[in-house]
Structure 1
Amino acid sequence: MGNVGLLYVGAVLLVNGLALLGRVSARSAAPLNLFVGGLQCVTPTVLIIQAGGDANAILAASGVYLFGITYLYVGIAGLAGLDPAGIGWFSLFVAGAAVVYSGISFWRNGDPVFGVIWLAWALLWALFFLVLGLGKQQFTTFTGWTVTLLSLPTCAVPAFLGMTGGMRSDTATGLLSAGIVIVLVALARLLSMKRVTEPVPA
């Protein structure tokens, strides 16, 4: 995924996480989803057209559509007040595809950092499936915190590192990335439990 597009994916994930936490309305989050979704559909299309049949370039661009379609779907649903179940079931497909892209990053591209990042994204979209596709509302707060906490470390941070030439991907940085993701997911769990157990004012 291009670093510029990845930067804005971080922004839209942050806003969508806050929406799940009730801090941002679906309608107010919709324009950003539409903008980033459009960007993430136009960009890979241009890259594929310019690839000249290069299988590696096409593969690299193909995963971007997963995000673009998701955000366009979320933006349209937020403005039109549509049932989010369709987004949820599409998210199941995205989660499965993200696992495949993770494997490609690990074993084909030799990029353990993005292998970990793709697994983190698989988790996020699996949670979207639980909340939006299956209606498991008990996971909404945990999903909101997980999306919010992972949005910048899995998107904006690697985007800035990539644009400034500071991105590294080896076994050590892959393990560090995995550790950060695990800690942030655990923190999301603690924050979601705290909210659930807070006493209701009399």
Structure 2
Amino acid sequence: MAAVGLLYVGAVLFLNGVMLLGKVNPKAAAVLNLFVGGLQVITPTYLIFTSGGDPNTILAASGLYLFGFTYLYVGVGLLADLDTTGVGWFSLFVAVMAIGYSIANFQILGDPSFGVIWLYWSFLWLLFFLVLGLKIERLTTYTGWVTAIQGWVTGAIPAFLLLAGYWDNTRLAAVALAIFGVVVFGALIPLTRGRIRLYPAARRPATPM
């Protein structure tokens, strides 16, 4: 069930990344954020209530709320044209907690692939904090590309492989993801440097997540 939610996390990350690049109207993106946000609140609640008190299941499910609350916050913010600082500072909280979930996946849950994926998400939510909370607008284009790419690399592709039964070599996946992240996100820095964001200040998206 968690893999199904992860698939749609990939979809909303991709959509919001494209929105940051100026290809999707913010209010149009709000609807999917609300749908996925609701899903990512219902899913962990179900998993926790049916876990039988298993601490590892509860631990793994609890991290999903970080996404659910983010996307609900995003969807409402986009529709209501709210200032971005609230979701920006919440993103800092998510970025810090994601490091904890990364360590938990490495040390407790025995899943190095998602240990690396949680580091991806920590980096991404840190970018959201810088762009939305601190208003460092020169990072908007870079953040848009990172968001769209992570939608596939940390969401849609792993989720589909999990659903199809092909996500079994988690150590190999962890190494591949680590190399990909360093190379691709490092290469994006000079490629997006100096790019002007595509939304004027009056129409800035309330959040890109």
Q: Normalised by the size of structure 1, how large is the TM-score?
A: 0.92
Q: Secondary structure at the match of 2:193?
A: helix
- Residue number in structure 1 paired with 2:172: 172
Deviations 1:93-131 (A, max 9, x none): 100111000001112122111111000000000000000
Q: What's the offset of the Cα at 1:185? A: 0.8
State how far apart, in whole Å, the 1-side matches of 2:78 and 2:111 are.
Answer: 35
State how far apart, in whole Å, the 1-side matches of 2:77 and 2:194 are.
Answer: 30
Aligned CA RMSD, in angstroms, stands at: 1.5
1:150 is aligned to 2:143: no
Where does structure 2 lack aligned partners over 5 or more consecutive residues?
A: 197-209
- Residue number in structure 2 paired with 1:96: 96
- Residue number in structure 1 paired with 2:134: 134
Aligned length in residues: 196
Deviations 1:37-82 (A, max 9, x none): 0000011111111223221211111000000000000000000111
State how far apart, in whole Å, the 1-side matches of 2:56 and 2:105 are.
Answer: 12
Q: Secondary structure at the match of 1:142?
A: helix
**Is the contact between residue 149 and residue 188 of structure 1 (CA under 8 Å) also seen in structure 2?**
no
Task: Look up the equivalent residue of 1:82 and give its one-letter code.
Answer: L
- Residue number in structure 1 paired with 2:112: 112
Deviations 1:160-200 (A, max 9, x none): 1101110024433321111111222124324313746xxxx
State how far apart, in whole Å, the 2-side matches of 1:194 and 1:135 are.
Answer: 16
**Is the contact between residue 138 and residue 195 of structure 2 (CA under 8 Å) also seen in structure 1?**
no
**Is the contact between residue 44 and residue 62 of structure 1 (CA under 8 Å) also seen in structure 2?**
yes
Larger RCO (CA under 8 A, 6+ residues apart)? 2
State how far apart, in whole Å, the 2-side matches of 1:9 and 1:170 are.
Answer: 20
- Residue number in structure 1 paired with 2:39: 39
State how far apart, in whole Å, the 1-side matches of 2:190 and 2:146 are.
Answer: 11
Task: Look up the equivalent residue of 1:139 and give its one-letter code.
Answer: L
Identity of aligned residues (%): 54
How do 1:46-57 residues align onto structure 2 when only pairs under 5 Å count?
A: 46-57=46-57
Deviations 1:127-162 (A, max 9, x none): 000000111111111111111112101111110110
Task: Look up the equivalent residue of 1:74 and give its one-letter code.
Answer: V
Where does structure 1 lack aligned partners over 5 or more consecutive residues?
A: 197-202
Task: Look up the equivalent residue of 1:186 and give its one-letter code.
Answer: G
Task: Look up the equivalent residue of 2:69 and give its one-letter code.
Answer: I
- Residue number in structure 1 paired with 2:26: 26
